[in-house]
Structure 1
Amino acid sequence: MDAAQPARAGAPHAVVVGGGITGLAAAHRLLGAGYTVTLAEASERLGGKLLPGEIAGVRVDLGAESLLARRPEAVELARAAGLGTRVEAPATASASLWTGGALRPMPKGHVMGVPGDPEALAGLLSAEGLARLARERELPPTEIGEDIAVGAYVAERLGREVVDRLVEPLLGGVYAGDAYLLSLRSAVPQLFEAARRHTSLLDAVTEIQRRAARNPAAGPVFAGIDGGVGSLPLAVAERVREQGGRILTGTPVTALRRPVPGGPWQIGTREGVLTADAVVLALPAAPAARLLETVAPAAAAELRTIEYASMGLVTLAYRARDAAGLPAGSGFLVPPVEGRTIKAATFASRKWGWIARQDPELLVLRTSVGRHGESAVLAREDTELVEISRQDLRAATGLDAEPVASRVTRWHEGLPQYPVGHAARVARIRGHLAQLPGLAVCGAAYDGVGVPACIAGARAAADALTGDAGALTALARNPVQSTHGGAGE
């Protein structure tokens, strides 16, 4: 049967598949362009990896907890969804590294762990590592070509200690990946472009820092939302409904076909078939590949090569008086070479005023576990993950109190990996889909895993469908920098 269609007579109809922040942003954009929109989400919940939750009576985020504020897309969407007055900067942004048996302040003036000033790493690297770093400008140029692994390039220029102690933990916080496999072009595009203009990596970082210094009014790097970043997709969904969009949850899409070339699309669901003039697949790589298998087999084959990392978050609530000795700052990162299970800890009540204001007598923190190739850690029981996190927290900070509550959230296959050549792979996928007008893909698998990156990709996909043929080309030429905040299809 043919499922009921939206009622705006004469307007083209778009179907968005996927109800994470990417799909919701695409639906919002298409409605603004005059389309009628139906969004189909397989699960009963909207928001993807943006998940609001609760612990010990306090609202928290159980997924991504911050937005990159120096990119406009996420903050703009929050304002459009009526959350503008609830966007707030972190109460503190001073993080540490747990390395060499101690918590050490994160050095200033780096780009994803790559320094511009060797002296900034004094106390973090060995004497040999510092001497190696200081000789970087004497080295012959390194061939970057069309792409190169972050770890390989930085190690060649600055030494492995910089990668192992700084770059790895920072990239791990974004991708849960391996710096020696991740693409410089896709994972740190700002540095890739600067490095192509300089023979010295230190000079490339200095150029980036100088550009940033010319914009002193840029404001905080990150932002949160009072009530949690997880409230953003719910607010966008409400705005989509107010504008006449239809949102179907618990509605997996099982088929995508176009019986007549150039004709309407047919989207199969358990309830029937939706017909559409345009389709946006805002899905992770594997489900997108399944739907594209018949209509775009070459694109589907490329999508199936994208690997994902799984990770988990352990949220702990303590009586504030029991955690009074916790070190200052917003938390710490852990280099993999330290051999610990947790890869980061965030002192959430210290970082976000909106959490602290709910209950000043409570202190909420969370740890993250799991990297690419380490999914076995997520098979452990919740109680074991909580105890492992407590052991590492005790070793790092001395915190030995019993939490009053704990929660474990697993994100299986949560973060796509961007190996060397990822940008070329994305270009091939879009090249195959260019033969199918009225079809676009977007999400964390393509141009960045952060929330603003996903929103930017959604906007570009919607704009391409509504007549801006250069939207995706512009996105490919100016890839969005990923950052902390996590993915959210």
Structure 2
Amino acid sequence: MSGVRSDARRVVVIGAGIAGLAAAHRLLERGARVTVLEASGRVGGKLLPGEIAGVRVDLGAESLLARRPEAVGLAREVGLADRLQPPATATAALWTRGALRPMPKGHVMGVPGTADALTGVLSEEGLRRVERDAELPRTEVGDDVAVGEYVAARLGREVVDRLVEPLLGGVYAGDAYRISLRSAVPQLFQAARTHDSLTEAVRGIQARAAANPQTGPVFTGIAGGIGTLPLAVADSVRARGAEILTRTAATELRRADDGGWRITAGDRTLHADAVVVAVPAPAAAALLRAEVPAAAAELTAVEYASMALITLAYRRCDVRLPVGSGFLVPPVDGRTIKASTFASQKWGWIAEQDPETVVLRTSVGRHGETEILGRDDTDLVAVSRHDLAAATGLGATPVATRVTRWDDGLPQYPVGHHARVARIRDHVGKLPGLAVCGALYDGVGVPACVASAYAAVDQLGGDLRGVEQLTAHPVQSLHGGAGE
């Protein structure tokens, strides 16, 4: 095994999504001998490269939050530095009240600092309601509170329904009136604990950002697609001696007599000094039930949202789109799609492949919405085309379409989620050589998943006494946001 000592500890990583692969990458840096088990036939989880009409595209997440270092750093480490590419345009819109309207500036996840930029998005009464925030008595957020509940109490439901809901829905495919403020918008939660006024809290966040400006784009992509990141990480870990076994589902995880772990995967039994469980909550619960039943019970309670991405390709001569990267759709407006990305306008690497083809994406599905996702692919394409025509006037027939379904793709972060995660980690941490990571713990975005993986490896540090510390990397804050 290249670069690995013969006496290095053996670690099995269960799950080859970006979290599991990042954990494997970090473990190899620490000198471990690594095997990765993946139940499906491919690596990458919710990151999926594909093509439409001969044009390479992402069929899953399409961007990285560039102002968190973990995912961008990992991309650079696996040889993708020269392919990191910011959006060609980051100007987004809201499709609300019958028109595409510029996304208001000066907000934190849709929560405004003033009412100045909200004309056209909110009604006159909604604008007046925002301005009354400074007159209201303080609203305590306690240990946690739902984003929608708190914001509606301070600024009125219109702000939640027309601004917060579409932005949160784009990240979690969830319901703003259930999503945890502490877990989903932690900087706003902390500010709300020290300010009497919510708009004042937002302005305080903005003032601190202005005093410490960050250079560079907020988001970045990868030429060829974000879906190429897990492929590059997988290539890197294989080149350094790790084994990645696809179509190999781990079905049982038990303590071994020597204090290590025994993993059953089909007709194979693997022995390891340590295990990283990097799979969604239902699979993690099944694996942990025998040895950590309390953690399994907590994991069983985690809910997920399903969604579908509809990718459409058009001849350029048939398309005239508004400027910008796309638009979000407030559910209160009664539309079917929740967002659309003008992919060829947003990403230069897509446009450059075929200047005569225009690629768009729409998304449908939120937590609890079962009817729309029960429709067949043809119907999802039809409703997407209907809403695109209503929003942009696009009436042309696409030359190709693809529907990608992500069943139970996004874990939900309800009120109290942070406490549930703490309990899971506490239960798991009582057993040496066991750690968990992934989207359900510290954020659904790619940087948060990578950070979760690094934290899991760091947790195992004391249990891997035979592992050589080849490289030391500080773990970044796990609560810096939840962008893709």
Smaller-chain TM-score bracket: over 0.9
Q: State the match for 2:470 in structure 1.
A: none
CA distances 1:373-393 after superposition (whole Å, capped 9, x unpaired) = 013312211111001000000
Q: State the match for 2:185 in structure 1.
A: 188
Aligned length: 474
Q: Contact between 2:442 and 2:478, CA under 8 Å: does it hold in 1?
A: no
Q: State the match for 1:270 in structure 2.
A: 266
Q: State the match for 2:482 in structure 1.
A: 482
Q: Contact between 1:311 and 1:375, CA under 8 Å: does it hold in 2?
A: no
Further displaced range: 382-391 or 209-218: 209-218
Asked if 1:42 corresponds to 2:39, the answer is yes
Asked if 1:252 corresponds to 2:249, the answer is yes
| Matches of 1:220 and 1:475, distance apart in 2 | 22
Q: 2:276 aligns with which of 259, 280, 283?
A: 280
| Matches of 1:293 and 1:285, distance apart in 2 | 12
Q: State the match for 1:225 in structure 2.
A: 222
Letter in 2 for 1:96: A
3-state SS, counterpart of residue 118 of structure 1: coil
The 1:468–1:292 alpha-carbon spacing in structure 2 relative to 1, beyond 3 Å, is closer
3-state SS, counterpart of residue 121 of structure 1: coil
| Matches of 1:425 and 1:11, distance apart in 2 | 34
Q: 2:308 aligns with which of 293, 308, 312?
A: 312
The 1:161–1:61 alpha-carbon spacing in structure 2 relative to 1, beyond 3 Å, is same
Q: State the match for 1:215 in structure 2.
A: 212
| Matches of 1:216 and 1:263, distance apart in 2 | 49
| Matches of 1:475 and 1:163, distance apart in 2 | 33
Which TM-score applies when normalising by structure 2? 0.96
3-state SS, counterpart of residue 375 of structure 1: coil
| Matches of 1:467 and 1:360, distance apart in 2 | 54
Q: State the match for 2:296 in structure 1.
A: 300
> Runs of 5+ in structure 1 lacking a partner?
none
| Matches of 1:235 and 1:154, distance apart in 2 | 41
Q: State the match for 2:232 in structure 1.
A: 235
| Matches of 2:126 and 2:214, distance apart in 1 | 35
- 1:217 CA displacement: 3.9
Q: 2:427 aligns with which of 425, 432, 436?
A: 432
List aligned pairs for 1:418-429, cutoff 5 A.
418-429=413-424
Letter in 2 for 1:395: A
- 1:463 CA displacement: 1.1
Letter in 1 for 2:313: A
- 1:477 CA displacement: 7.7
Asked if 1:65 corresponds to 2:56, the answer is no
The 1:195–1:478 alpha-carbon spacing in structure 2 relative to 1, beyond 3 Å, is farther
| Matches of 1:50 and 1:352, distance apart in 2 | 17
Q: Contact between 2:114 and 2:130, CA under 8 Å: does it hold in 1?
A: no
| Matches of 1:166 and 1:468, distance apart in 2 | 46
3-state SS, counterpart of residue 356 of structure 1: helix
| Matches of 1:7 and 1:475, distance apart in 2 | 23
CA distances 1:227-267 after superposition (whole Å, capped 9, x unpaired) = 0000000000000011111111110001000033x711001
Q: Quick one: percent identity of the two aligned structures?
A: 68
> Runs of 5+ in structure 2 lacking a partner?
465-473
- 1:467 CA displacement: 3.0
Structure 1 stretches of 4+ with a deviation exceeding 4 A read: 474-478
Q: State the match for 2:287 in structure 1.
A: 291
Which TM-score applies when normalising by structure 1? 0.95
| Matches of 1:476 and 1:69, distance apart in 2 | 14
| Matches of 2:370 and 2:411, distance apart in 1 | 14
3-state SS, counterpart of residue 107 of structure 1: coil
List aligned pairs for 1:357-376, cutoff 5 A.
357-376=352-371
Q: State the match for 2:77 in structure 1.
A: 80
Asked if 1:15 corresponds to 2:12, the answer is yes
Q: State the match for 2:343 in structure 1.
A: 348
Q: 1:399 aligns with which of 375, 379, 394?
A: 394
| Matches of 2:311 and 2:173, distance apart in 1 | 18
The 1:475–1:179 alpha-carbon spacing in structure 2 relative to 1, beyond 3 Å, is farther
Q: 2:325 aligns with which of 317, 322, 330?
A: 330
Q: Contact between 1:309 and 1:375, CA under 8 Å: does it hold in 2?
A: no
- 1:410 CA displacement: 0.1
List aligned pairs for 1:30-179, cutoff 5 A.
30-179=27-176
Q: Contact between 1:447 and 1:480, CA under 8 Å: does it hold in 2?
A: no
